[in-house]
């Protein structure tokens, strides 16, 4: 699999850049605040390169009112349940507990996604103190920290006046880590990017390559703490992971804490119980799990998985790999998946129906066949009866019998058998026994397994290859009763000929 081509931007995580005086001190100001006015908050979202960032969303929560007594302004939290005493020195972190306990009420829309210009505006805001939280995080970025803003605030150019239309410029750091996924076993490749084909029962080896971000607990200049950093893998229907085979390494060093079972997207469980999670932080989420996990390190996760019968009829078997990460001040984790230009490997398995008839299209039961693959191997049902082996000798192959139930399925119909869960390609049917009274085929029959051949068990057989047998012509067996008739008849004809010849000679004399 090709490596991700994420845009690599230096991952220096800027502290939130806000306008000086965002939280005014309780003081006297001239002129007096006009309490009849409303204000607005405009957020200009950019990255470290000062480029607009589209797709970020913000939620604002009012946490205090502004109260004015003559020329003195103060903060009033009467009626608020967050329990925070608001002063001019209060920080956004003071409201973390209230947020986690849902003691803050969003003002207006819970999320307000930015326009393509990287700007979003909240209007008609009553005067007070607001907590601003980035609740929709653009792909491949790290959320800006929560911050507080006052409406109004001291005018940044004229400290003797107020501005009611406040502007904030939070920044997003670009997530410089990456993830790719590939198949490293000798699984048969198909046409298409990362497209493969396999028999049901075949084992496939995967490798996930994770590049740690440049700022992951790095140096003093490039440093960012994470409170969550994990890799999860979620298989689709038709793929069974061997959990005992999962390893995570940096070089030759085992790293990470591997947990099998239902992966978690933050607090949301994935829809499968067959995946696994590799946590690259310690149990407290405060540091890397292993000293080898450093900024820019490569973590390789490998495992084996088996194609199951449930893959039959699926558009393809995949398994999604994700990096889930979070940073302090954010409770909505980022989610990184492989670049769409190099998609996750997809494995296909196919089926094909065969109908055995005579030359008048009457279904024939009892014909026996083996399947020879295009690699000169033969299909053999494995000992568990749930997948295929590939064997060298036709004598070891599994027999398919027309009109009888067939491996990996239970449906029967006169003349039919279905070959279920075989890798794609042009393979061969070799008849090893003809129905009674019919001639054995002398040449193999070619059958193609692809996305047009896949069959559905039951009356809908999908693409079907019809194999015709001709009736046999039997010569009399040596020593059988029939030969006496021929011998007697022959002798009679000879005697008759001699008699006629003799009579003719006498007449001539």
How many domains is the chain built from?
3
Encode pLDDT of 31-61 as tens digits: 688 889 999 999 988 877 778 888 888 999 9
Q: Are 204 and 346 in contact (CB under 8 A)?
A: no
Is 225 in the same domain as 294?
A: yes
d(CA 306, CA 347): 11
Is 149 in the same domain as 247?
A: no
CATH number of the CATH domain containing 140: 2.60.40.10
Is 212 in the same domain as 118?
A: no
Q: Are 303 and 247 in contact (CB under 8 A)?
A: yes
Is 248 in the same domain as 360?
A: no
CA-based nearest residue to 85, from 26, 138, 6:
26
Is 333 in the same domain as 362?
A: no
Give the domain extent around 259. 178-338
pLDDT of residue 358: 92
Phi then psi dihedrals of residue 501, to 5 deg: -65, -40
Is 205 in the same domain as 327?
A: yes
Residue 501 lies in a domain: no
What's the angle, vertex CA 469, arms to CA 467 and CA 471, rounded to 5? Answer: 165
| Domain stop point among 121, 140, 169 | 169
What's the angle, vertex CA 274, arms to CA 268 and CA 275, rounded to 5? Answer: 60
- Which long-range CB contacts under 8 A does 408-416 form with residues at least 24 apart? 408/200, 408/309, 408/312, 408/381, 409/457, 410/457, 411/457, 411/458, 413/363, 413/459, 414/363, 414/365, 415/355, 415/356, 415/357, 415/363, 415/364, 415/365, 416/353, 416/354, 416/355, 416/356, 416/363, 416/461
Cα-to-chain-centroid distance, residue 28: 60
Is 284 in the same domain as 184?
A: yes
Residue 63 lies in a domain: yes
Residue 482 lies in a domain: no
| Domain stop point among 136, 169, 202 | 169
d(CA 290, CA 462): 53
Host H or E run for residue 51:
none
In terms of pTM, does the model score above 0.75? no
- Which long-range CB contacts under 8 A does 441-446 form with residues at least 24 apart? 441/467, 441/469, 444/372
CA-based nearest residue to 116, from 170, 13, 46:
46
Residue 367 lies in a domain: yes
Is 327 in the same domain as 427?
A: no
Residue 404 lies in a domain: yes
Is 159 in the same domain as 226?
A: no
pLDDT of residue 379: 96
Cα-to-chain-centroid distance, residue 241: 14
- For strands 334-336 and 257-260, give the pairing: unpaired
Residue 466: strand pairing partners: 355
Residue 313 lies in a domain: yes
Is 363 in the same domain as 451?
A: yes
Is 239 in the same domain as 257?
A: yes
Residue 14 lies in a domain: no
CATH number of the CATH domain containing 274: 2.60.40.740
d(CA 228, CA 289): 11
CA distances from 270 to 5, 259, 261, 280 (A): 27, 14, 10, 19
**DSSP class of 169:** B
Q: Are 73 and 24 in contact (CB under 8 A)?
A: yes
pLDDT of residue 117: 81
Residue 291 lies in a domain: yes
* Tens of each residue's pLDDT in the chain, 509 residues: 333 333 332 232 233 333 333 444 444 444 688 889 999 999 988 877 778 888 888 999 999 998 877 767 788 999 899 999 888 788 888 998 898 888 999 998 877 767 788 888 999 999 999 999 988 877 667 777 889 999 999 888 887 889 999 999 887 777 778 899 999 998 888 877 788 999 999 999 999 999 998 878 865 455 677 888 999 998 888 999 999 999 999 999 999 999 988 776 655 555 566 889 999 999 888 889 999 999 889 999 999 999 999 888 788 888 888 898 887 766 566 777 776 666 789 999 998 889 999 989 999 999 999 999 999 999 999 999 899 999 999 999 999 999 987 777 766 789 988 898 999 999 999 999 999 899 999 999 999 988 776 554 444 445 678 888 777 655 454 455 555 555 666 667 776 666 665 666 556 55
Alpha helices in 294-389 (DSSP H): none
Encode pLDDT of 169-195 as tens digits: 887 777 778 899 999 998 888 877 788
pLDDT of residue 272: 62
CA distances from 357 to 143, 367, 448, 470 (A): 67, 10, 19, 9
| Domain stop point among 169, 196, 223 | 169
Is 268 in the same domain as 357?
A: no
């Amino acid at each position: 699999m090709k490596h991700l081509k994420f845009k690599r931007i230096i991952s220096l995580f800027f502290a939130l850049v806000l306008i000086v005086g965002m939280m005014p001190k309780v003081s006297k100001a001239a002129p007096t605040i006009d309490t009849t006015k409303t204000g607005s908050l405009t957020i200009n979202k950019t990255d470290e390169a000062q480029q607009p960032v589209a797709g970020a969303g913000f939620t604002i929560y009012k946490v205090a009112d502004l109260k004015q007594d003559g020329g003195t302004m103060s903060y009033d939290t009467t009626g608020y349940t967050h329990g925070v005493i608001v002063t001019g020195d209060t920080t956004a972190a003071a409201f973390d507990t209230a947020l986690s306990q849902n003691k803050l009420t969003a003002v207006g829309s819970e999320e307000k996604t930015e326009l393509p210009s990287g700007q979003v505006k909240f209007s008609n805001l009553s005067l007070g103190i607001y907590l601003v939280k980035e609740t929709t995080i653009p792909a491949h970025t790290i959320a800006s920290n929560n911050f507080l803003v006052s409406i109004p605030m001291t005018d940044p150019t004229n400290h003797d006046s107020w501005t009611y239309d406040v502007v904030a410029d939070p920044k997003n750091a670009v997530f410089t880590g990456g993830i790719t996924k590939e198949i490293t076993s000798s699984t048969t490749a198909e046409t298409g990017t990362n497209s493969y084909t396999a028999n049901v029962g075949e084992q496939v080896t995967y490798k996930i390559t994770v590049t740690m971000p440049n700022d992951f607990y790095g140096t003093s200049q490039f440093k960012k703490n994470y409170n969550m950093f994990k890799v999860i893998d979620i298989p689709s229907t038709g793929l069974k992971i061997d959990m005992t085979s999962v390893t995570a390494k940096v070089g030759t060093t085992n790293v990470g804490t591997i947990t099998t079972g239902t992966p978690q997207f933050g607090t949301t469980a994935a829809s499968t119980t067959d995946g696994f999670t590799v946590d690259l932080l310690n149990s407290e989420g405060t540091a890397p799990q292993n000293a080898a996990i450093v900024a820019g390190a490569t973590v390789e996760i490998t495992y084996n998985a088996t194609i199951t019968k449930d893959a039959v009829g699926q558009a393809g078997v995949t398994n999604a790999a994700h990096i889930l990460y979070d940073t302090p001040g954010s409770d909505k984790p980022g989610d990184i998946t492989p670049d769409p230009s190099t998609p996750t490997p997809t494995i296909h398995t196919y089926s094909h129906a065969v109908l055995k008839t005579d030359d008048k299209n009457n279904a024939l039961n009892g014909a026996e066949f083996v399947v020879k693959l295009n690699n000169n191997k033969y299909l053999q049902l494995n000992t568990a009866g749930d997948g295929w082996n590939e064997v060298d000798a036709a004598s070891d192959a599994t027999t398919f019998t027309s009109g009888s139930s067939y491996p990996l399925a239970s449906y029967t119909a006169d003349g039919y058998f279905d070959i279920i869960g075989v890798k794609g390609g042009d393979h061969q049917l070799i008849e090893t026994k003809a129905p009674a009274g019919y001639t054995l085929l002398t040449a193999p029959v070619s059958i193609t397994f692809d996305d047009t051949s896949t069959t559905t068990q039951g009356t809908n057989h999908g693409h079907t290859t019809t194999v015709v047998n001709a009736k046999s012509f039997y010569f009399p067996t040596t020593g059988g009763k029939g030969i006496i008739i021929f011998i007697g008849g022959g002798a009679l004809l000879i005697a008759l000929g001699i008699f006629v010849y003799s009579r003719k000679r006498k007449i001539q004399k």
